[in-house]
Amino acid sequence: MNMVVRSLMRREGVLFIIIAVVGITVGIANPSFLSAANISDLFVKSAPFMIMVCGMTLVIVTREIDISVGSLMGFCAALLGIFTSLSRLHLPVAAGVALTLLAGTLIGALNGILVTRGRVPSIIVTLGMLTVLRGITIFVMGGEWIGELPPELRTFGTGSFLGVPFSVLTALAVVACFIFFTRRVIPGRWVYAVGSNPDAARLVGLPVSAVKVLAFTVTGFLTALAAVVSVPQLSVIETDVGNGAELFVITCAVVGGVKVAGGRGSIVGAALGVLLMSMIGSVLIFLRLGEMTVYWEKAIQGACILAAVLFDHIAERRRKGA
């Protein structure tokens, strides 16, 4: 019994309870909220962000930040469209996906190298990358949207296996892989050691810079994968794909218990953070706030970040006091 109570009091347990309470409460007020169609739609919309938050968790745990992921997502979406669209290069879908994933991975690695080798704060590096990528995206798209995506790509966005959409299966597989990576694989444990105390990690021989580059590289790859998952769900690819995604993903990670100061956070908590924040967005739609929905969503995101940071600060003071 004590183990159950302790599990529920952890951030993951608290998030699970909040998600359940919000879902049941709104479901009682509006039964269609808990319909199979709405729940499926909620998970489909959450899938790209669940993928991205796994990488963001690694970056934040190492005491860094990546605010370029939204622009990188848009850039990768544009690349995938250019590579595969029937009106553009029309490469085989597999080749287009592979090239898109490679581009995202290389850009993530470049971020990591600039941060570690150039000794430039990650917020400055990724802010610059955010601006560069958004400009390049508009340039390569010619300021126009991209349509005529191949049927094979559309199938990935609309298909399912045993009733579960492919995008959701992809997200769950990524989350499962990174739970295993952070708990059972040595480099995954190094991420937490570096974030907890970089100087001590360096003294015991851990490759601190390499671990940080790995975190940024993984984030680049996962952001590109999120773009691959998102594009088939779009009628056309526009230049604003990914706008604001960085704030949403960072919010989800922090709400999920990833400590902004580094060294602590779990993939499970971050994934639940995505689910909670996506659910809040869905609730706002059901409240029929009209054009105000997007503004309320941004306000709630900011409030959630402040609340999560305050919660962590109070918990840290209590631990030190004990």
pLDDT tens figures, 12-52: 888 999 999 999 998 888 888 888 888 999 999 999 999 99
Q: Please, which pLDDT band fits residue 10 given cuts at 50, 70 and 90?
A: confident
Q: Look at residue 188 and tell me if it is in a domain.
A: yes
Q: Across all residues in the chain, what is the average pLDDT?
A: 90
Provide, rounded to the nearest whole percent, the portion of the chain with pLDDT above 90. 67
Q: Look at residue 246 and tell me if it is in a domain.
A: no
Q: Look at residue 122 and tell me if it is in a domain.
A: yes
75: pLDDT strictly greater than 70:
yes
1: pLDDT strictly greater than 50:
no
Nearest-angstrom CA–CA distance, 152 and 93: 7
CATH number at residue 58: 1.10.3470.10
Residue 229 belongs to domain spanning: 45-241
3-state helix, strand, coil in the chain (%, to 5): 80, 0, 20
Question: Encoding tokens for residue 101?
Answer: 């994933």
Into how many domains does the chain fold? 1
Averaged pLDDT, 6-13: 66
Averaged pLDDT, 179-190: 96
pLDDT of 8 reads 46
Q: Look at residue 146 and tell me if it is in a domain.
A: yes
Query: H helices of the chain, where?
Result: 2-9, 11-29, 36-61, 69-84, 93-116, 122-141, 151-158, 166-184, 186-196, 198-203, 208-230, 245-255, 267-286, 293-321
Nearest-angstrom CA–CA distance, 96 and 84: 6
Q: Look at residue 74 and tell me if it is in a domain.
A: yes
pLDDT tens figures, 120-140: 999 999 999 999 999 999 999
pLDDT of 158 reads 78
Q: Look at residue 66 and tell me if it is in a domain.
A: yes
Q: Look at residue 272 and tell me if it is in a domain.
A: no
Q: Please, which pLDDT band fits residue 322 given cuts at 50, 70 and 90?
A: low
Q: Look at residue 187 and tell me if it is in a domain.
A: yes
User: 115 with 178: CB under 8 angstroms?
Assistant: no
